[in-house]
């Protein structure tokens, strides 16, 4: 696919607007432009650096509270270990009620702390890099910002599975905690609470994430992969 003459002008226009202080990339047409670029792997590679630069400028302008990736990973690893400590405590305590609460804590903990590191691990394995951790959403949730230049340089299937990895990991967390329930002696209400929570977050994936979050991005990138295959 040949490069349309309008791409250089469009990227230059958007970057100039961002330099001037505009940060609404949707209103500037950046994401519509990227959708066309990503349909052709040659164009995606060609424009990766400038697209990544624009995306990074907007992120850094909008997101003042951010920490290095290594620091965010360390904090989330500590959180994951706290969940493991909760499971260990559930297995040794003489109190059934405390064992149940400890397992519920582990389920909640792992559903949160495994999400972003899974994105990081799969993304790095696929050749992507990340810029920073930041806080997003309500309730506050750790976000991990991709280096968009490296994102564009990998195959859309790799991008899709990077997005899916976090969603999968966060759903595994509660059921991993539940697997320790039979050995813990915790009461049945603890198992039902964890099972209900697991079902709830799976439901949010089915009804919300497919339209707004990780699974929406997964479907978008798999659609791009099909477009690229059809254009070969």
Task: Show the tokens assigned to 33.
Answer: 């432009």
Domain that holds residue 35: 1-62
pLDDT of residue 212: 75
Domain total of the chain: 2
**Are 150 and 175 in a shared domain?**
yes
Q: Among 175, 184, 181, 163, which residue's Cα sits nearest to residue 110? A: 175
Q: How far apart are CA 133 and CA 63, in angstroms?
A: 10
**Are 54 and 70 in a shared domain?**
no
Q: Which residues of 66-85 are buried (b: 16+ CB within 10 A; e: fewer)?
A: beebeebbeebeebbeebee
**Are 43 and 96 in a shared domain?**
no
**Are 135 and 24 in a shared domain?**
no
Q: What is the DSSP letter of 4?
A: P
pLDDT in tens, the chain (232 residues): 344 558 999 999 999 999 999 999 999 999 999 999 999 999 999 999 999 999 999 999 999 889 999 999 999 999 999 999 999 999 999 999 999 999 999 999 999 999 999 999 999 999 999 999 998 766 778 899 999 999 999 999 999 999 999 999 999 999 999 999 999 999 999 999 999 999 999 988 887 766 778 899 999 999 999 999 988 7
pTM of the model: 0.90
Domain boundary among 62, 83, 109: 62
Say if residues 114 and 165 touch (Cβ distance below 8 Å): no
Q: Among 163, 128, 172, 164, which residue's Cα sits nearest to residue 147? A: 128
**Are 112 and 216 in a shared domain?**
yes
Domain boundary among 40, 62, 84: 62
**Are 44 and 77 in a shared domain?**
no
């Amino acid at each position: 696919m040949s490069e349309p003459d309008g791409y250089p002008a469009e990227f230059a226009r958007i970057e100039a607007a961002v330099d001037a202080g505009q940060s609404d990339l949707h209103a500037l047409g950046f994401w519509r432009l990227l959708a066309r670029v990503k349909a052709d792997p040659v164009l995606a590679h060609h424009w990766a650096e400038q697209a990544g630069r624009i995306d990074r400028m907007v992120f850094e302008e909008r997101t003042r509270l951010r920490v290095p990736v290594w620091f965010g990973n360390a904090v989330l690893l500590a959180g994951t270990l706290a969940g493991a400590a909760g499971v260990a405590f559930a297995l040794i305590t003489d109190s059934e009620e405390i064992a149940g609460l400890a397992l519920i804590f582990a389920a909640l903990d792992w559903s949160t702390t495994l999400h972003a590191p899974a994105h990081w691990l799969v993304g790095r394995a696929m050749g992507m890099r990340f810029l920073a951790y930041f806080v997003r959403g309500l309730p506050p949730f750790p976000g991990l910002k991709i280096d968009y230049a490296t994102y564009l340089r990998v195959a859309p299937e790799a991008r899709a599975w990077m997005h899916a990895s976090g969603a999968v990991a966060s759903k595994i967390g509660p059921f991993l905690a539940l697997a320790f329930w039979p050995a813990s002696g915790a009461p049945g209400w603890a198992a039902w609470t964890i099972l209900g929570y697991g079902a709830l977050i799976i439901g949010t994936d089915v009804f919300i994430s497919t339209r707004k979050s990780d699974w929406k991005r997964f479907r978008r990138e798999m659609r791009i992969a099909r477009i690229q295959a059809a254009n070969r």
